[in-house]
Structure formats: C-alpha cells, structure tokens
Amino acid sequence: MKTFLLYLISLIFIILNWHLGQNIYEWTLYDISFYVFLPLIVAYLLGFKPNELGFKVGKREGYIWAFALFLATLPLSIYASKMESFRSFYPIFSYSSWGDFIFKELLVGAIMFAHEAFYRGILLFPLAEKNEWLGILAQNIPYTLVHIGKPSLEVPYSFIAGIIFAKMDLKSESFLPSFFLHWIGSAVFDVLCVI
C-alpha cells in the first residue's frame, strides 16, 4: 500500500511540475524540488529509507555498463547532432561564453540528477521490489511522456533508454549509473550540436 501511495503522490508531483520553469535556473529549482526533495519527504513519511530508493553508490558493474552504453551510443549522438530538428532544440539554454556554457551544463546535471533520482530511484525501486517489470514500465511511461514536445525521435528513444537505464540501475542497486550516463551523454550531445 505504501508503495502505491508513494507512486501516486509522485505522479502528482510530475503534473504539478509540468512546464513550470521559464529558464534553466527555474527549471533546475523546480525539478530539484518536485523530483527530489518533496518525493523524498513523502517517502520518508511513508517509511522508506533513501537507500531503498537507489540513493547509494551501488555496484561497480552499473558504472561499467553506463560507460559501455555511452561508447555504444556515441555514433548515434554524432549522427543525430547533425539533424536540424536536434540542432535547433539543443542545447536547451542560451549561453554567452564557453564559461557560461559549462556553468549551464552543470545546471543540466542537477536536472538530470533530479530526473534519474525520481524515475530510476523513487518510482522504480519500490515497485520493482514487488515486480521488476511492473516497476520498469511504471517509471518508464511517465518518463517517456515528459519527452513529448522535444524532437520527435526522442520519444521512442527515451522509451528504449528508460528500460535499459532501469535494468542497469536495478543491477547496480543505484540510480547513479543512469544519472552519469544521461548527464555525460547530454553534455556531449550539446557540444556536438554547437560545434
């Protein structure tokens, strides 16, 4: 019951956070609030411990898989970065210098941390303990839906990536491998889109 209640309340946080941020600073603040702090408070009140939600370093194999997946998808990123639909959308922020670019990539890192903590941590781990595929699909459907409005190829790509990320994180017992993969992949893709 507490797992279902955490999932239901977390879905409400997704709805409340939908398109709140007008710029990278607001987006970061809202995502950290609605995807990390508020769900962790609810989880704590329901009796969950952070390590039950993937908030731990985890097993080494998850990081090895994340690095291998980064290398495997790099050619796809290079190809996609040449497509106008992606080049006109990414990076998601404007920048005035390379220093500003790097600072905003750090903010994107905070956003990616919030997303992975939420989808591959808070939503995934409690449900996957009851039924692995239920947990994977239950986190992946809202994760995929939040990609609507981005370049159209991202929706099916995010669905596939969400399953792979979830499997990798469950084996690692932490959401950190998917966080590092997502953030580094995003930062490299942003660089590819601007050069």
Cis peptide before 156 (omega within 30 of 0): no
pTM: predicted TM-score of the whole model, two decimal places: 0.93
Q: Tell me the pLDDT band of 19, cut-offs 50, 70 and 90.
A: low
Two tokens, residue 140: 């992946």
41-86: pLDDT as tens digits:
999 999 999 999 999 999 999 999 999 999 999 999 999 999 999 9
Q: Provide the pLDDT for residue 9.
A: 86
Distance from C-alpha of 69 to C-alpha of 50, rounded to nearest angstrom = 26
Phi, psi of 68 (to 5 degrees): -65, -40
Question: Which has the higher per-residue pLDDT, 5 or 185?
Answer: 185
Q: Provide the pLDDT for residue 25.
A: 93
Average pLDDT score, the chain: 94
150: DSSP letter: B
Q: Provide the pLDDT for residue 6.
A: 87
129-176: pLDDT as tens digits:
999 999 999 999 999 998 998 999 999 999 999 999 999 999 999 999
